[in-house]
């Protein structure tokens, strides 16, 4: 019986691992429920306070999909400096973006072997795409993570979400309490979050559990209460009443 070499190669290339991927950190029940909804939709807005595990969950889903060959690539983007001007920074694109994507890398290292994650990055299976470089791109068979999305403007958000192609999923992580834009109303995250259920395949989820030290939740409550009482930030970042 003759063997079709081409078909054998295709079969070998698409063969999936027999065993589930073993991550170093396990998801809690809240994250597992959120994961099920994310996998059931095309685009998900994932909200939550600092330390709620938004980025960790997005990274776990992305790495799992990549390792079991349910996607071909992981795309990572997040807003950087004012007007996305990174050209003046030294180094290649990855080196320019490194300060902003380090939190995502650190989450991936927490989840899985660092050397294997680094190999995925060097092989181009995990690609960093600055927001300003996304225009004109179409992401097919990919998992797209948009981190710190509360600092993405309405125009940028429209451009980002319309990049998604066939066989892809997008996870947009944001926290309305951490908007760094000059005008908070310019944030495109909250608008899309509130609009999510108007479109089939667009979901909105909020994580509530804190994954950092217990003091973080108390500190967030402290500042939220102060802001409600009129505490604001000056242009220099100093607090004033």
What confidence tens digit (pLDDT) does each residue in 8-30 have?
Answer: 434 345 567 677 889 999 999 99
Contact between residue 44 and residue 172 where contact means Cβ atoms under 8 Å apart: yes
Q: How far is CA 198 from the centre of its chain?
A: 22
pLDDT surpassing 90 at residue 93? no
**Tell me, what's the pLDDT at 14?**
58
Give the chain's largest Cα–Cα span.
83
> Percentage of the chain surpassing pLDDT 90?
56
**Tell me, what's the pLDDT at 203?**
97
CA separation (Å) from 154 to 159, 191, 202? 9, 8, 17
pLDDT band at 229 (very low <50, low <70, confident <90, very high): confident
| DSSP 8-state code for residue 148 | S
Least confident of 4-13, 184-193, 202-211: 4-13
pTM for the model stands at 0.81
Contact between residue 61 and residue 220 where contact means Cβ atoms under 8 Å apart: no
- 3-state SS class at 194: helix
Contact between residue 59 and residue 143 where contact means Cβ atoms under 8 Å apart: no
Contact between residue 39 and residue 61 where contact means Cβ atoms under 8 Å apart: yes
Least confident of 71-80, 88-97, 98-107: 88-97
**Tell me, what's the pLDDT at 65?**
96
pLDDT band at 70 (very low <50, low <70, confident <90, very high): very high
> What whole-number distance in Å separates Cα of residue 78 and Cα of residue 80?
6
What confidence tens digit (pLDDT) does each residue in 83-92 have?
Answer: 444 455 555 5
The residue among 81 and 154 whose pLDDT is bigger is 154
> Percentage of the chain surpassing pLDDT 70?
80
The residue among 67 and 129 whose pLDDT is bigger is 67
The residue among 17 and 130 whose pLDDT is bigger is 130
| 66 HSE (CA, 13 A, CB side) | 25
pLDDT band at 241 (very low <50, low <70, confident <90, very high): very low
């Amino acid at each position: 019986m003759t063997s079709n070499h081409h078909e054998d190669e295709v079969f070998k290339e698409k063969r999936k691992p027999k065993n589930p991927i073993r991550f170093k950190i396990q998801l809690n029940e809240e994250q597992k429920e959120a994961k099920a909804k994310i996998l059931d939709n095309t685009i998900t807005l994932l909200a939550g306070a600092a330390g709620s595990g938004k980025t960790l969950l997005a990274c776990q889903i992305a790495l799992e999909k990549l390792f079991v060959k349910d996607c071909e690539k992981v795309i990572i983007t997040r807003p950087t400096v004012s007007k996305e001007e990174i050209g003046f920074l030294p180094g290649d694109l990855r080196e320019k973006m490194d300060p902003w994507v380090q939190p995502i890398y650190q989450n991936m290292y927490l989840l899985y072997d660092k050397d294997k994650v680094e190999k995925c990055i060097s092989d181009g299976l995990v690609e960093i795409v600055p927001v300003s470089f996304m225009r004109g791109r179409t992401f097919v068979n990919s998992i797209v993570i948009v981190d710190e999305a509360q600092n993405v403007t309405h125009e940028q958000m429209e451009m980002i979400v319309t990049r998604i192609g066939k066989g892809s999923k997008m996870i947009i992580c944001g926290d309305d309490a951490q908007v760094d834009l000059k005008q908070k109303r310019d944030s495109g995250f909250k608008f899309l979050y509130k609009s999510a259920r108007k479109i089939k395949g667009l979901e909105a989820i909020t994580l509530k559990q804190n994954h950092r030290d217990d003091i973080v939740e108390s500190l967030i409550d402290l500042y939220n209460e102060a802001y409600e009482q009129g505490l604001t930030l000056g242009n220099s970042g100093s607090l004033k009443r």
